[in-house]
């Protein structure tokens, strides 16, 4: 009976996390620095994608992170998926550090290198999401990375003195807080 109630609790928590995936709800939960980074990310996305797609990307990120957080509160999920989790953590950290480096060192941006990091991060994240979440969550991850792989957007985002430099500054600051 205990195992069945844990399963029901987990399903309810995941369902609730799905409802919390919108920026309007997240504003009541997340720290101000993270919200500012999300807003800056949204402003950049809207420049290159429709407002609906931009909101869908933000929602996908929030929902996936929230659901994975809930899943890893269950000790058994951590133990059973440790290799995939460690790989995902390393690949995401590598991606974030790459973004930080491109920001800190003028003219160091390489689209090929960044897109390689996107591919690695997406693969490792999907390995975890496919084990623990629904196919809908996997599709959400694929959609987010598809939108991030917009070459024109990334070129403009990392352009020295470009219009997105203030947004990039705030995003990198938030990443610095999250990824020591």
Q: What is the pLDDT of residues 99-114, one digit of tens each?
A: 999 999 999 999 999 9
List, for residues 49-68, the tens digit of each pLDDT value. Answer: 999 999 999 999 988 888 88
What is the predicted pLDDT for the residue at 33?
76
Domain edges within the chain:
2-178
C-alpha to C-alpha distances, 164 to 20, 101, 115, nearest whole angstrom? 28, 16, 19
What are the phi and psi torsion angles at 158 (to 5°)? -95, 5
pLDDT value at position 162?
A: 92
pLDDT value of position 90: 94
Q: How far apart are CA 39 and CA 170, in angstroms?
A: 10
Domain 2-178: which CATH number of 2.40.30.170, 3.40.720.10, 3.40.50.1970, 1.20.1440.160: 1.20.1440.160
Lowest mean pLDDT among 25-34, 119-128, 131-140: 25-34
The predicted pLDDT at position 175 comes to 83
Residue 36, pLDDT score: 81
The pair of three-digit structure tokens given for residue 111, joined into one six-digit string = 């689209």
**Consecutive H or E run containing 142:** helix 135-148
pLDDT for 179 equals 76
CB neighbourhood size of 100 (10 A): 16
Find the DSSP H helices in 20-81: 23-26, 32-48, 51-71, 75-80
pLDDT band at 5 (very low <50, low <70, confident <90, very high): very low
């Amino acid at each position: 009976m205990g195992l069945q109630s844990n399963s029901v609790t987990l399903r309810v928590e995941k369902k609730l996390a799905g409802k919390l995936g919108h920026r309007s709800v997240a504003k009541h939960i997340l720290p101000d620095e993270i919200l500012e980074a999300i807003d800056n990310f949204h402003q950049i996305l809207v420049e290159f994608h429709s407002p609906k797609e931009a909101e869908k990307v933000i929602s996908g990120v929030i929902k996936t992170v929230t659901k994975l957080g809930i899943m890893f509160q269950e000790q058994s999920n951590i133990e059973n998926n440790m290799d995939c989790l460690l790989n995902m953590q390393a690949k995401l950290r590598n991606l974030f550090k790459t973004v930080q480096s491109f920001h800190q060192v003028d003219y160091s941006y390489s689209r090929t290198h960044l897109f390689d990091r996107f591919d690695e991060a997406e693969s490792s994240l999907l390995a975890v999401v496919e084990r623990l979440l629904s196919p809908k969550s996997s599709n959400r991850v694929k959609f987010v990375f598809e939108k991030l792989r917009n070459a024109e957007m990334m070129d403009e985002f990392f352009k020295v003195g470009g219009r997105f430099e203030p947004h990039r500054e705030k995003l990198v600051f938030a990443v610095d807080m999250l990824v020591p």
